[in-house]
Structure 1
Amino acid sequence: MSKALTLTVNGQDHDIDVPLTTPLLDVLRNHLGLKGSRYGCGLEQCGACMVLIDGMATYSCSREVGTLAGRAVTTIEGLGSAAALHPLQQAFLDEQAGQCGYCLSGMLIAAKAFLDQNSQPTRSEVAATLDANLCRCGSHPRILRAVLKAAAKMHPRVD
């Protein structure tokens, strides 16, 4: 049974008519045309589908859209733009942190949520945070460097 609801994604309200049990990832990709979040496993085990919900990194593959009334969803498309990249996006480019790129939207989203809470992370903290995001092409060392580079830019040390 479908039900009309309003979903706030990347600062814009969208009226959608889907069953309330529809996964958020399906709505983002198939109804709103936001293809940055990817389907990887459907079991909250790879991180390719991560989005921010009220600033918290969340798996969208299993999150039912009916649970999101009054919540703010941010996808990778809402993180920055081609004209104004987010510091994380720029750092990932600078460090050539992606090969195939399939995991990158989830990595960027997880890193954003983490850096919003931890302004001076260590390499081991970044690695532990991104452990839930799988990268099959072996870009982890560059990804870790990119997150640390972005952290330094986003939160410069004041000594």
Structure 2
Amino acid sequence: MTTHKASCFCGAVEFTVTGAPVAMGYCHCESCRHWSAGPVNAFSLWQPDAVKVTKGADNIGTYNKTPVSFRKWCKTCGGHLYADHPPLNLTDVFAAMLPSLKFEPAVHVNYQETVLRIKDGLPKMKDFPAEMGGSGEALPE
């Protein structure tokens, strides 16, 4: 199995992900945009047991604006790490955290909230795919 290593901005927190992501894509929701300080957030979703903190677990802060996302960051540098999504039983490791992962996005989610239109031929979901509890409605590119 493939293992990818990640760390926060200062290196106080390190973690690994093992195996393959469940899904990869882009999120356009307001929460992800604000959290990432960018117009879109590239995500990779993993089974929670694939994510292992290997250094600095006591230095991880958590914030949850909603019960859907528990966002994790380093208490020393403020660097973002990952987000747990308990209702989905998935962990979102921001794609930029995994330089050795070949990022292969398959979908855009929450495209109804986009501030940056992207024409890349990938499906643009209004919210989430139906299998993830969303409407399953696709929007035009």
- Sort the TM-score into its range (normalised by shorter chain): under 0.3
| Alignment TM-score, normalising by the size of structure 2 | 0.27
Decide which structure has greater strand share: 2
Decide which structure has greater helix share: 1
Larger Rg: 1
